[in-house]
Amino acid sequence: WVQKTPGLRRARDVRCDEVTSCPDGNTCCRLSSGAWGCCPLEEAVCCPDRVHCCPRGTTCDPEGGSCLQEDGGRVPWVQKTLGLRRVGDVRCDELTSCPDGSTCCHLSSGAWGCCPLEEAVCCPDHVHCCPQGTTCDPEGGSCLQEDGGRVPWVQKTLGLRWKGDVRCDKETSCPDGSTCCRLSSGAGGCCP
């Protein structure tokens, strides 16, 4: 058997599709290549040139190279960046994921846990899992193979956090583009 660990919440990424996301506070917009890009503005307007974007409530003005406000004013438009590939995560649901090569299994609490085996069997005790092609044996504390052999359990790994943030340690993270720094109190701090 393999003991499961809780999956981690993906609280802040903006999902464009199954494999691409943008950091928190961004808007997904298509690039000229057809790939997803990220506009560093929340609820932005994606410009038809597929290179730029404008703040919400404005209109793209490709001829003027800017964004037109409702009152006739202009603000500079923003260039999009390439979307972030979410390759390597196994999605459990909209908020939780596990590392590539693992399997999402429910914990006894109902939350998602991560089994570090691909296409694993989730055991009914909601604590352990077994390799594909085996059966959970709660009484023996192991996994039964079809030929009657047993496979020992292994330690599980932590899930992935898809937040668009910088992870400092197991409990602390900073917004994307920041650096983790210790405060004089010893607590984690964020340098923008």
Q: Which CATH number fits domain 90-161: 3.40.1710, 2.10.25, 2.40.160, 2.40.360?
A: 2.10.25
Question: Taking the chain (192 residues) in consecutive chunks of 10 residues, what is each chunk's mean pLDDT?
Answer: 45 73 88 87 94 95 93 92 68 74 83 85 87 88 89 55 51 55 60 59
All structural domains of the chain with their residue ranges: 5-10+163-191, 20-85, 90-161
Residues 171, 97, 85, 182: what is their CA dihedral angle, to the nearest 10 degrees? 0
* pLDDT score at 157: 45
88: nearest Cα among 39, 157, 186, 190: 157
* pLDDT score at 42: 92
Beta-carbon neighbour count of residue 56 at 10 Å?
10
* pLDDT score at 156: 52
d(CA 78, CA 21): 18
Classify residue 190 as exposed, middle or buried by CB count within 10 Å of its CB (0-12, 13-18, 19+).
middle
The tokens for 137 are 């044996």
pTM above 0.75, yes or no: no
